[in-house]
Amino acid sequence: MLRHRTASRLAVLALLGSGLVPLAAAPAGATPGCVDETAPSVLQNGCDDSLPPETTLTASPAPNAAGLVTVSSMTFTLGWQVTDGDQGPFGLECRLTGGPQAHDWRACTSPVTYADLPDAAAGGYVLEARAADLGDRGRTPDTAPLLPPTVADTPDEDPTPATFTWGQDTRAPFVFVTGTSYDEITPTQPVVNGAGVPIRLNSSEAGSGFECTDNDRPVACTGGGRWELPDPTAGRHRFSARTVDPAGNASAWSEPIEFFVPRNLTRQRGWAKVTGPGYFRGDAIKASRRGARLVLPRTTVGELRLLAATGRGHGKVRVRVGKRDWHVVDLAGPKAAMKQLVVIDRYSGLRAGRIVIESLSARPVVLDGVVARPNRFPAANRTGRR
């Protein structure tokens, strides 16, 4: 900064008056502290304001951690700061890189808005802004005649412009949800008897994440192919998902996929627990005497299946719901650790009551699980999925 203007050039005047000008005279320079620019004269040195204003910049909206915004309009609030008491006047200049609205340095006023910008990858747009001392720009301190230069003219705009970089994605992705469980009897509401429920989740945009719900409760999930909903509870399930791209745009929720998880049977009087890798949830129950009973809680039944082991020499059981008729199920047949056996098909109407299962001989029977569900399915609850 050059503030003080050296008071006297009497020696120069004397030399001029005598007609003698020292050819090798060095510039006297200006002392620090100038807040404006003044050309030198025979009485004083020139003055150069060597401290330009500093630029401030604030953007709205702010990009996310990936450097992206989800809107096509950006607004910038610009300003300047001075620390030397300079009163200006000051102005602003902007330069935009990227997109069809790109331009070189030009005067701008705060706030600056760029609307209808096309989408671009992170870093696709760069705004630079700089403040300038307009009062000093048109002045140069080294224009006095007959005198050697005394002060260099430093730049009158911020040499380190404020810079803001961003990208833009305004389009929501699409989510693809596919249930891969197979059920020949009820293909749209399959019974799933594995440890997890296999589901395929994919997005139309690479790098997207996923949000999932099971019976309207959030569950952690991952996409990019096959994924399993782990350890689902017994009963009816409605699963839905959406995908969220790196910018934060979310797809619509998918149409729910439905599936049903059997009730795992646990030991009651007259039944023993058996374990094995082929059983649902890793265990089953076994009875080897006539009249061993299982009584399950009251429910409404439109379809009833037994998950049971079959084999040569296996016995029979009978099943009923409430006070309705008994249904006899023969477990003799080809050996299988678990087989689904339809006791009441889904077209037989509704009935309600306790489910009672009873062995009919001393031959062994191994039961693994029960599918008891109505044959009418209520509509999905879409609360909170707008």
Nearest 10 degrees: Cα torsion 350, 354, 359, 365: 80
Angle subtended at Cα 138 by Cα 132 and Cα 143, rounded to the nearest 5 degrees: 135
pLDDT of residue 195: 85
- Name the CATH superfamily for 175-261: Immunoglobulins (2.60.40.10)
How far is residue 60's CA from residue 71's CA, in Å, rounded to a whole number? 10
Instruction: Encode pLDDT of 280-315 as tens digits.
Output: 999 999 999 999 999 999 999 999 999 999 999 999
How far is residue 379 from each of residues 190, 215, 257, measured CA to CA in Å?
A: 17, 12, 12
Residues in the chain: 386
Q: Compute the distance between CA of residue 309 and CA of residue 305 in angstroms, rounded to an integer.
A: 13
- The CA-based angle 143-148-152, given to 5 degrees, is 65
Residues 106/94, Cβ–Cβ less than 8 Å: yes
CA proximity to 338, closest of 248, 258, 265: 265
Confidence at residue 30, expressed as pLDDT on a 0 to 100 scale:
40
Q: Strand, coil or helix: what is 326?
A: coil
The CATH class for the domain spanning 263-373 reads mainly beta
**Which regions of the chain are under pLDDT 50?**
1-31, 378-386
Q: Measure the CA–CA gap between 297 and 239, rounded to whole angstroms.
A: 26
Going by their DSSP bridges, the two strands 162-168 and 68-69 should be labelled as parallel
Pick the CATH number of 54-139+156-168 from 2.60.40.10, 3.40.50.720, 1.10.3470.10, 3.90.470.20: 2.60.40.10
Residue owning tokens 């299962």: 357
Cross-strand pairs, 87? none
Q: What is the DSSP letter of 280?
A: G
Question: How many whole angstroms from its chain centre is CA 147?
Answer: 67
Report CA Rg, the chain: 42
pLDDT at 303: 95
- Least Cα distance to 178 among 117, 266, 112, 259 occurs for 259
What is the pTM assigned to this prediction?
0.75
Hey, where are the domains in the chain? Answer: 54-139+156-168, 175-261, 263-373
Contacts of 379 (CB under 8 A, 6+ apart): none
> Are the folds of 175-261 and 263-373 the same?
no
